[in-house]
Structure 1
Amino acid sequence: MFDLLLLCIILATAAAAGTFDPLQHSGPASPYFDAPFQFGIPTATPTNCVIDQAAYILRHGSRYPEPGSFARWRNLFGKFQNATYTARGPLAFIPYWTPPRLERERHCLGVDLRERYQFTKGGANFTVWSVSQQRVLDTATYFVRGYLSQGNYLAAPELNRGSIIKLPDSVDYTFANSLTPSAACPSYSQGNTGSAKANAFRANYQAKIAQRLNGFLDSWTA
């Protein structure tokens, strides 16, 4: 009986490992994923019901980086662009790679919501709230442009206008800091040993990954 139970556990573990997606376990660096349906509730509008109002809570697009991350990514990109090396195999794209422009994602979301709900044609009653970080303001701007892009710019230009209200997220009275507690909660950074533990864990596998990737880069120096 014990052997059978052990075999079942091994098979279940192997099956789970085969479907493991690291992108869903990468914390804030993960792309957006839809949450699974809960309690068998369908997403379709019930019969005889009409949606007359909707509220969307969005973070930034994927992904306008924060200043610290942006500096590190920019430095790495600069090394790839300015160094003399030969990239082969799965890394052959690196010398020619350019960062994608991320406006399209939120612009398309605005277009999609306009087509789906058709609540308003724009104007004074169309308002988007944003925190003060530039990446979030950019996300809000492209969303509004997408939502209002189907209006008539000649016959009714006033309907192609919307409002973006900027809320500072460095204080707690605007309620704009729910996703950035580090700026509003003094205790957030106290006793945080997560970074040290994460660095210690990464040391277990980073060297092997670097060795494998360096096998596709000739004459590369970090």
Structure 2
Amino acid sequence: MATSATALISPRPYQQQSNDQFNALKYLSTGAAFHEATGHGISKETPDQCVIDQAHLLMRHGERYPTASSGKKMQELLEKLKSSTTETVYNPLGFVHDYEFFVSNSSDYGKETYYGPYSGLADAFFFGSELRQRYNHLVDADHTLPVFTAGEKRVYDTAKAFSQGFFGNGYSGDFQLISIPEKEEQGANSLHNKDGCPNFDNDDNVDSALEDENLQYAQYEADRLNKLGGSGYNITVDDIFIMGDYCAYENNVREMVW
């Protein structure tokens, strides 16, 4: 009886194929919806011989709307493209003529997204529920757990949603949100944004280094779109960066089809 070649090969304990194919979320700037980093085959589960006796979580906020200043730039870019785009077969941005800006209510600027597949508040809630299951043995239900949060509303709302997930669904215990104002005089702390570090925020060398790394690909993309769109286009390097943010935040607000 013939024996297949595969039958002579010992079972492989580690898969060789890559399941981490193209994922648009990895190319949508820092405003993109949460996505895990590429793994290295290390299990998330606690090894049988180990016991977790302490856990710390550090996060700022989840998926959100753009700020008002960023949103203004995005809307201005959309209007620019609408007024200059020609409808041709090969025009990759010809669809903008009938495209509506994704922020319909200006009061939503800066807030966590609260509906859709990439809802920041929903993600925070379910994350809290997931961690409660994982670390339930660490919770002292007889004492109120302090949850520290920055004063920014979207950060506070994220902390609240997370805590509701952590203590909801019949779990015992309670929490208290402790808000720390985000002011320069507060100094740097683990909850602050970059304003807590004036040297970084005002360091021209940092901006120059980032520009050197990014301008080459952005200029190539601007030239490509201008060529495809015809003479009506005037897309700049700055526009390319705004496009990346636009896609990220629109995806947070309403699901995009790629």
TM-score by length of 1: 0.58
1:63 aligned partner, one-letter code: R
Change (3 A) 1:203 1:36: closer
What is residue 160 of structure 2 aligned with on the other side? 141
Match of 2:149 in 1: 130
Q: Does 1:206 align with 2:243?
A: no
CA distance in 2 between counterparts of 1:33 and 1:162 reads 27
Relative distance call for 1:200 and 1:54 in structure 2 (3 A) is: closer
Q: Which residue matches 2:62?
A: 61
Further displaced range: 57-66 or 136-145: 57-66
On the 8 A contact 2:26/2:32 being kept in 1, the answer is: yes
Does the Cα contact within 8 Å between 2:194 and 2:200 map onto a contact in 1? no
Determine the structure 2 residue equivalent to 1:112: 130
Task: Please give the alpha-carbon distance, in whole angstroms, between the structure 2 residues aligned to 1:96 and 1:121.
Answer: 47
Amino acid at match of 1:131: A
Q: Could you say what the CA RMSD is over the residues aligned between the two structures, in angstroms?
A: 4.4
**Cα drift, residue 22 of structure 1:** 6.1
Instruction: Structure 1: give runs of 5+ residues left out of the alignment.
Output: 1-18, 80-85, 216-222
Cα drift, residue 71 of structure 1 = 4.4
Kept in 2, the 8 Å contact 1:167–1:174? The answer is no
Identical pairs, percent = 22
Residue number in structure 1 paired with 2:30: 28
Residue identity matched to 2:31: A
What stretches of structure 2 of length at least 5 have no aligned partner?
A: 1-20, 80-86, 104-112, 231-258
Letter in 2 for 1:106: A
Q: CA offsets, 1:103-144, max 9 Å, x none? A: 211011011111222132757432211112111111111101
Measured after TM superposition, the shift of residue 149 of structure 1 is 1.3
| TM norm structure 2 | 0.52
Which residue is 1:164 aligned to?
177
Is 1:175–2:194 an aligned residue pair? no
Change (3 A) 1:198 1:149: same
Q: 1:151 aligned to 2:170?
A: yes
Question: Who is 2:197 aligned against?
Answer: 184
Counterpart of 2:178 in 1: which secondary structure?
strand
The alignment partner of 2:177 has SS state of: strand
Partner of 2:240: none
Letter in 2 for 1:117: Y
Q: Report Cα offsets for 1:47-99 as digits up to 9, x if no partner.
A: 243223211111310234344324445x47x97xxxxxx9xx99699559787
